[in-house]
Amino acid sequence: MTNDAPNPDNDMTNGLRRWRRPADASWRHGAAALLTLTFDLDAESAVLARSDTAAKDLSTMSHQAYGPQTALPRILRLLKDVAVEATFFVPGESARRWPRAVESIMDGGHEIALHSDQHRPLTGMSPTEQADDLHANIEALTGLGARPVGYRAPNWQLTEDTLALLIEAGLLYDSSLMDDDHPYLIEHPTGRIAELPVHWSLDDWEQYAFLPEPDIGSVINPPATVRELWTGELDAMRATNSLCNICAHPFLSGRPSRLKVIADLIAFARDCGDVEIIRCDHLASRVHPTAGNATRTPAT
């Protein structure tokens, strides 16, 4: 009789539990909670990764182009008006299609981070394919003058191979996992990397994503609902001293009434008086004990 029970030593989640180390409370610098505003500049990559025919559909492609073409300038204008620095996770595909958009983000003083090359799921890639994907993403961003130190997996689907590759590339942090609402350090067998956790409740995709073909979602919630959700979560996180890591997409949250939610969230955070708004790289440098000033250049 065979034993089909899984071997816990081969369970990646079990490995992650062994590797994770809580961050020292100094990451908060005395604030009750921290707010990171992050934007995934997926643009066309989000649909091209899902459909071989999306490139032929002008309506679908225009839906995605709204992000870098129309929404991004509004987002950057808002952030400038309220003097807030954000983090933008950019696929290589988006950087090649919209180089001026990426440059405008850097000109605004914001962080540029990695988000895979073509937004394809990493779980279906071999380690070699993942390495090629990561290096192509790095090359696309560094070619525009960016020096990314952070990474977010497409669809937040990180693998153990990914972790090893990120560490090998000299990256400071990842932002793809959901087992905490405090940042922490991963002591992987190959090295260290900080983790800035995410959650679906803080992602605008689950609130606004609607597109029949390819199917990226079928929901359009009122911005008032999202405002209540995000401000409520941030308010509660002040009691738990947590990280509120907002994940927005310009083609979704960049529409006028939805962008006002971002503006209102910033205003709410400031009205609290005990919430710090911070870029991901600056936060990660507090979590990673050997991070220095978070200016490391990734390997290419």
Q: How confident is the model at residue 54 (pLDDT cuts 50, 70, 90)?
A: confident
Q: What is the pLDDT of residues 241-258, one digit of tens each?
A: 999 999 999 999 999 999
Average pLDDT over residues 213-221: 82
In CATH terms, the fold of domain 29-287 is TIM Barrel (3.20.20)
What span, in angstroms and rounded, lies between the C-alpha atoms of 28 and 6?
A: 39
What is the mean pLDDT of the segment spanning 263-270?
A: 99
Give the long-range contacts of residues 222-226, CB within 8 A, separation 24 or more. 223/257, 223/258, 223/260, 223/261, 226/258, 226/261
Q: Taking the model in full, what pTM does it have?
A: 0.92
Q: Output the pLDDT for position 218.
A: 83
pLDDT digits (tens, 9 = 90+) for 64-119: 899 999 999 999 999 999 999 999 999 999 999 999 999 999 999 999 999 999 99
